[in-house]
Structure 1
Amino acid sequence: MITLETIKKKSIVDVAGALGIPLKRLSSTLYEQVEHDSFKIFTNTNTFKWFSRDIQGDVIDFVQLLAGVSFKEAIHFLDKGDFPEQEVQALKLEPFRYYLPESKDFGSARTYLKTIRHLSDETINTFGRQGFLAQGQWQSDNHTEPVVVFKSKDHHGRLVGASLQGIEEHPDRYKRGRLKKIMKGSHGYAGVSLAIGKPKRLVFAESAIDLMSYYECHKEELSDVRLVSMEGLKKSVIAYHVIRLASEEKGDFSFLDELDKGRLTNYLDMILRSTTHFQTHEQLITLVVDNDKAGRDFIAKLQEQGFPVQKDLPPLDIFDGKSDWNEELIRQKQEPSLDDWLCQFYEERSHGFRPSQELALEL
């Protein structure tokens, strides 16, 4: 009798061939889909991951995704097909190794966050006191430069990843002018997170700087919430923090400790399909992602799947059709206040000039 475990051992590479999906071999255990270079197949675990879309799974998920069929139809296809079994190695998540030299002086990082990103000392100190910020030295190809380090910690407070933001401009080395990198070996499901009060809901941003910017724009109204940076658009990060929050409410992390972190999105889908959790927590998830096509599509996809997602997007920039929360923070700080306008009004009066509004009306 065929079993689910036997089905999952069907060679994913041979299945891809049967579906007419061209693959490019990168190493003895790694393949890449020719049409999508972020779509990788791992023969040692018989799994795949589509990095740009944050989709991953086993050979059954693979058939469902690429053939557009149901779970039952995927099982039937794999059962009837003449596919050899793949020897599968258990996926082991290696502990994150933080190898970056840190500076005792945070001055350059603070200057960058204040002058370039327009974040306040209060915001920087709030995240810094929680141990999420540091100034480090990045070295690559005989080149060394200072970076802001954004640290990711899990539900036990263990460091499980870090993302880096270059402080200096090096347009000859980086397309965006400054280094932007996730450290090798980071566990991407955790993200940078900040708890305010006793969290009862979750707010997700695309980057740590956008997260800090959103906090600064809304800090007076934030209470009992966990702010999380996904470092991209990652359903796995949402899944981890939904399960983490439920574990915190129960006071028991045993399920979260033991589950396969590579299948977090599957667990989230299972919670949606087989429990009433999202019906009783309708305000649980708020997305404060970039107001661009990718961000809006990410929200729409989750809503189509049935997740009760709230959204709080930055106002759209009419000139290039996109915006993020750091851009909105900068805009708010550069926009003159009523007090500034009144000061200018009276200064013009005192020098015998009429304000531009009056001139416009007369004309």
Structure 2
Amino acid sequence: MIALEMIKKKSIVDVAGAFGIPLKRLSSTLYEQVEHDSFKIFTNTNTFKWFSRDIQGDVIDFVQLIAGVSFKEAIHFLDKGDFPEQEVQVLKLEPFRYYLPESKDFGSARTYLKTIRHLSDETINTFGRQGLLAQGEWQSDNHTEPVVVFKSKDHHGRLVGASLQGIKEHPDRYDRGRLKKIMKGTHGYAGISLTIGKPKRLVFAESVIDLMSYYECHKEELSDVRLVSMEGLKKSVIAYHVIRLASEEKGDFRFLDELDKGRLSHYLDVILQTTKYIQHHEQFLTLAVDNDEAGRDFIEKLKDQGFPLEQDLPPLDLLDGKTDWNEELIRRKLEPSLDDWLCQFYEERSQAVYSPRTPTLDL
């Protein structure tokens, strides 16, 4: 059996050289692809990231991307190739420092979530009861504004990050009109999660707003599940929550506490290749990501790597060619249902048939 641990150590720089990819060295641990300056290789973690396309991964993912091959074919290529091993440094994360002043009044945040995002009080309160929401004040460049704070907590309930959503529009300051920011120092692998019952499966969305919208659209059928916002498309978040759930089932978090958080995706691959843990859990992983090219590609990539996945995508907007769960929630709330339309139709027809006719004068 091929040891994935050893395969992952194959030097990504040397592998790039084997493919004839020209690299420019920027520092002792950072390389850049000459033809694509947003494509970076990090030798300290033996990983890459293509920032303009939001694609990242380890040396196996790199081979899959460059050669257009499957997970197994990439492993075979790396196993047979004469590539030196790259010493990988353990990622040392500093404790997250939450410095945002919070307001005792949640009114502006609630108004934004209800009127702009069309979320119900019940949904807002459900996330609030698990300590995931707050209203804060963001300060930058002599500018202060109210924000909705979405809090990220780890398996011990510790605050390890936060995402911020501006409440007021400032089109002169932000391309999207409102502030959207992940706080500095956030441990991105943890995501933002809501626990329902005793979780036996995991559902992943791209953003916390989409996660709240998915909850509202499906709350009647959700039990014993953990809903997770990846705050993007991040395999590391999926890995963390798979290992977290396995640790919860054992009642032992020592492995999760001690493992290198920079190699979570690697550990997920090991679990898939060496155990039947994921396969033994029915409908264990559900991807409720955006129905767009990036979301669908992310799902297909994981499937190609052998992950058994369920997908629950919002209905596609035929005009735009893409949609997310918040857009689907708003559509459901604003568009009348077929039953409502039929009731209105028959009511109007009934009035037309049985209302007295106004006599006309034959002049």
Q: Secondary structure at the match of 1:49?
A: strand
Partner of residue 172, structure 1: 172
Across the aligned residues of Structure 1 and Structure 2, the Cα RMSD in angstroms comes to: 3.1
Q: Partners in 1 of 2:150 and 2:38 — Cα distance?
A: 24
* Aligned residue in 2 for 1:254: 254
The residue that corresponds to 1:77 in the other structure is 82
Q: Which amino acid aligns with 2:139?
A: Q
Aligned to 2:56: 55
User: Against the structure 1 CA distance between its residues 9 and 330, is the aligned structure 2 distance closer, same or farther, given a 3 Å change threshold?
Assistant: closer
Q: CA deviation at 1:143?
A: 2.2
Structure 2 SS opposite 1:279: coil
Q: Distance in 2 between matches of 1:302 and 1:161?
A: 26
Q: Percent identity?
A: 77
Deviations 1:249-288 (A, max 9, x none): 1111111111111111111111111111122124100111
The answer to whether 1:124 aligns with 2:124 is yes
Corresponding position: 1:298 with 2:303: no
Residue 198 (structure 1) aligns with: 198
Q: Is the 8 A contact 1:282 1:308 kept in 2?
A: no
Following the alignment from structure 1 to structure 2, what is the Cα–Cα distance between the partners of residues 77 and 353?
A: 85
How far 1:63 moved relative to its partner? Answer: 6.5
Asked whether the equivalents of residues 56 and 263 of structure 1 are also in contact (C-alpha less than 8 Å), the reply is no
Supply the distance in 2 between the matched residues of 1:178 and 1:333 (Cα, whole angstroms).
23
Q: 1:358 aligns to what?
A: none
Partner of 2:343: 342
Aligned-partner SS, 1:273: helix
Distance 1:223 1:14, change over 3 A: closer
| 1:279–1:106 distance in 2 versus 1, CA, 3 Å | same
TM-score, scaled to structure 1: 0.83
Q: Which amino acid aligns with 1:160?
A: V
Q: Following TM superposition, by how much is the alpha carbon of 1:77 offset from its aligned partner in structure 2, in angstroms?
A: 2.8
Q: What is the Cα deviation at residue 307 of structure 1?
A: 0.9
1:291 Cα shift? 0.9
Counterpart of 1:242 in structure 2 is: 242
- Alignment match, 2:264: 264
CA distance in 2, matches of 1:34, 1:166: 37
Structure 2 CA distance for partners of 1:186 and 1:54, relative to 1, 3 Å: farther
Q: Give, in whole Å, the separation in 1 of the partners of 2:254 and 2:55.
A: 25
Q: Deviations over 1:74-124 (max 9, x none)?
A: 464324xxxxx9887543122112222222211111111000000001100
Residue 359 of structure 1: aligned partner:
none
Q: Secondary structure at the match of 2:266?
A: helix
State the alpha-carbon separation in 2 of the partners of residues 132 and 218 from structure 1: 19
Is 1:278 the counterpart of 2:278? The answer is yes
Report the Cα distance in structure 2 between the residues aligned to 1:353 and 1:114, rounded to whole angstroms. 41
CA drift of 1:343 comes to 5.5
Shift of 1:167: 1.2
CA distance in 2, matches of 1:283, 1:87: 37
Which runs of 5 or more residues in structure 1 are unaligned?
80-84, 355-363
Mapped partners of 1:346, 1:21: distance in 2 = 69
State whether residues 39 and 48 of structure 1, in contact with CA within 8 Å, keep that contact through their aligned partners in structure 2.
Answer: no
Amino acid at match of 2:83: L
> What is the number of equivalent residue pairs in this alignment?
342
Provide the rounded CA distance (Å) in 2 between the counterparts of 1:202 and 1:39.
Answer: 31
